[in-house]
Chains A and B, each alone.
Chain A
Amino acid sequence: MSHETLSTILFVVFVALTLGITFWASRNTKSAADFYAGGRSFSGLQNGLAIGGDYMSAASFLGIAGIIALSGYDGFLYSIGFLVAWLVALLLVAELMRNSGKYTMADVLAFRMSPRPVRTAAGVSTIVVSIFYLLAQMVGAGALVGLLLGITSQAGKIWTIIAVGLLMIIYVVFGGMKGTTWVQIVKAVMLMVGAALITLLVLGKFGFNLSGLLGDAATASGKGEAFLTPGLKYGTEAQGIWGKIDLISLGLALVLGTAGLPHVLIRFYTVPTARDARKSVLWGIGIIGVFYLLTLVLGFGAAALVHGKIDKSGNTAAPLLAQEIGAQVFGDVGGTVLLAVIAAVAFATILAVVAGLTLASSSSFAHDLYAHVFKRGDVTERQELVVARVAAFVIGAVAIALSIFAQSLNVAFLVSLAFAVAASGNLPAILYSLFWKRFNTAGAVSAIYGGLISAVVMVIFSPVVSGAKTAMFPDVDFHLIALSNPGIFSIPIGFLCGYLGTILSKEYNASKYAEIEVRSLTGIGAEQATGH
């Protein structure tokens, strides 16, 4: 049996299992709290696994292993930024949001301020961030399928994207947060087991001698010791000082972006109390941290064992490594099986992450824009949920259509844009509204739009879009900024706009701040679990 057949069988098993879970969850998804927040009845460990499932996207699994395999140490920089970022979420955001919000990020902002302008801004930025992230995953799915399932025709790729899109729509529309969370949990366990197995085999092959593995990787890469130090990919000497500023900019966007990502923020609402939100982030940090340490071994292992075979993007490094190490340890059949397992895990990963993103954006559309902005709160829970499901369908369809036309877009560009926009547009507004007494409507609106617009505009005029061989439009050149990641400017701009907007407006509501401060720290009046 070929690995393509076996991968397809494993993937079908995963899909069948998760669809079963989804239909089971749909029978228990009746209220808004069920659909948006899974009834707030997940345990800390369950939600911690789901946090890992949401966060360990195909970009971080295949992407980081691939960057390490091709450019050595620099891939590790990504992992570190992605992990440290969770401390911002743990110390400053998770518990306070759980205590003071309800379903979306905007709940926390709208609490203190004039709800309509603030919800509009937060809803727009949630949908923008989620769609960029969603596109990256869907485009990645199209690219991967050719490599993993042997589907190379254009039509085959399009059908794969459509299939991924339809599945995610089913997960979200029927299963809501409960179904989506279970999909994340199943996927997180599969991914951890798969990555741990291959890591053990690779380490075993090198007699558990990490130094030997690194030495072989450096030699095989042809770059020698430079392969083990930073600077082959990001902020290279050839790029000069702007290259190094770009590296810092990327580092900032990674570490500050996570706590502003909408699909991460809504995870905190799925547990009964703030204490469980804390526990879930602790579990999440443990799972994600261990996973990134595994990808370090996978990346260097791929460099040492299969260096010549990896494609230019690096995405095939982990699957090829699985095949090689399986074949070396268990013979050819073992290689086929391991490759099939990793391919199936990669698809499960994409499917789970796109479902999480679709849920975040459709929730924000229904709860923030439809219920509170268009209908001014004059809407029944039933109507709101119908809109949320329709929105999930529409957003899914839009994502399918866009990703078919966006096949040539650079995946890393879309992900870095999502992180930069989240760090510049969402994080300043969230932190100000939780901690700054004077913060007001004008401040929140200017923080979100200021950060969002400056990040997007800077990316449009960056070498990522034009003026470079690797750009989206390599044949034209309208780039004005040498930075490919806008974070180093757009994040301070977001904070500054929030500050200026606040002090230039006279609005100030001390009693509302008292309420959010007391509620966020004590949990008084927090939303209760609906329980099952």
Chain B
Amino acid sequence: MTVQHDPSVYERIQAGEQFQELRRRYRSWAFPMTIAFLVWYLLYVLLSGFARDFMGTKLFGNINVALVFGVLQFVSTFLIAWAYSRHAAAKLDPLADELRTAADSRDEVGEGAK
């Protein structure tokens, strides 16, 4: 896998305003969200270990807090996945497409990376 093209092309793209905006949009969404769902998950694990009386509280019938909390982890996972796909389609994909089209038309990188 030898790379023949001049690497400075990538440095120019990287320094460009458009790429910096793409990078910002990606990181400012993905990083805080990762921290958020990990904290939310660890909260669940910690409560399962240390707050069992609370987790055993019955809400309705035999459905207790532990079960609802667990199902909420599923719900939050589905929601975050869906929200990410929306965010990526609306905010990331168009910018990435523009950058890729521009790079292809200049023919600086395209095939060179193969």
Contact = CB atoms under 8 A, between A and B. Distances in A.
A398 B63 CA distance: 47
A223 to B, nearest CB: 12
A90 B84 contact: yes
Contact of B88 (A87, A278, A524, A527): A278
Contacts of A248: 42, 45-46, 49
Q: Name the prevailing secondary structure of the B interface residues.
A: helix
Interface string B62-102: 11101100110110011011101100100011001001100
A327 interface: no
B17 to A, nearest CB: 14
Contacts of A80: 41, 44, 70, 73-74
Nearest to A431: B34
A139 to B, nearest CB: 28
Contact of A275 (B26, B93, B109): B93
Interface string B1-31: 1110001101101100001001100100010
A228 B11 contact: no
Contacts of A521: 19, 22-23, 26, 92, 96
B48 A77 contact: yes
Given A80-B41, A524-B103, A524-B109, A228 B85 contact: no
A266 B34 CA distance: 22
B38 to A, nearest CB: 7
A525 B80 CA distance: 29
Contact of A514 (B7, B52, B67, B80): B7
A514 B77 contact: no
| A110, A292, A511 — most chain B CB neighbours (10 Å) | A511
Interface in A270-322: 275, 278-279, 281-282, 285-286, 289, 292-293
Contacts of A522: 13, 19, 22, 96, 99-100, 103
A50 B88 CA distance: 23
Given A228-B67, A285-B78, A519 B34 contact: no
A194 interface: no
Contacts of A218: 62
A229 B52 CA distance: 7
A89 to B, nearest CB: 10
A86 interface: yes
A289 B77 contact: yes
Nearest to A107: B1
A251 B93 CA distance: 33
Nearest to B6: A511
A215 B63 CA distance: 9
Interface in A503-525: 510-512, 514-515, 517-519, 521-525
A86 B78 CA distance: 10
Contacts of B67: 73, 76, 214, 228
A83 B36 CA distance: 16
Interface residues of A, number: 61
Contacts of B88: 95, 278
A523 B100 contact: yes
Contact of B19 (A511, A512, A518): A518
A338 to B, nearest CB: 26
Contact of A523 (B1, B62, B96): B96
A211 B61 contact: yes
Contacts of B45: 77, 81, 247-248, 251
B81 to A, nearest CB: 5
Given A84-B73, A91-B30, A231-B48, A524 B80 contact: no
Contacts of B52: 229-231
A248 B42 CA distance: 8
Interface in A241-255: 244, 247-248, 251, 255
A526 B97 CA distance: 13
Interface in A476-532: 510-512, 514-515, 517-519, 521-527
20 contacts: A80-B70, A81-B41, A87-B34, A228-B66, A230-B55, A231-B49, A248-B46, A255-B41, A275-B93, A285-B81, A286-B78, A289-B78, A377-B1, A377-B2, A515-B7, A521-B19, A521-B22, A523-B100, A525-B110, A525-B113
Interface of B: 1-3, 7-8, 10-11, 13-14, 19, 22-23, 26, 30, 33-34, 37-38, 41-42, 44-46, 48-50, 52, 55-56, 60-64, 66-67, 70-71, 73-74, 77-78, 80-82, 84-85, 88, 92-93, 96, 99-100, 103-104, 109-110, 112-114
Interface of A: 73, 76-77, 80-81, 83-84, 86-88, 90-92, 95, 102, 107, 110, 210-212, 214-215, 218, 225-226, 228-231, 235, 244, 247-248, 251, 255, 275, 278-279, 281-282, 285-286, 289, 292-293, 377, 510-512, 514-515, 517-519, 521-527
Given A91-B84, A211-B61, A524-B109, 14 more contacts: A77-B45, A210-B63, A212-B62, A230-B48, A247-B45, A285-B81, A510-B11, A512-B7, A514-B7, A521-B26, A522-B96, A522-B100, A522-B103, A525-B110
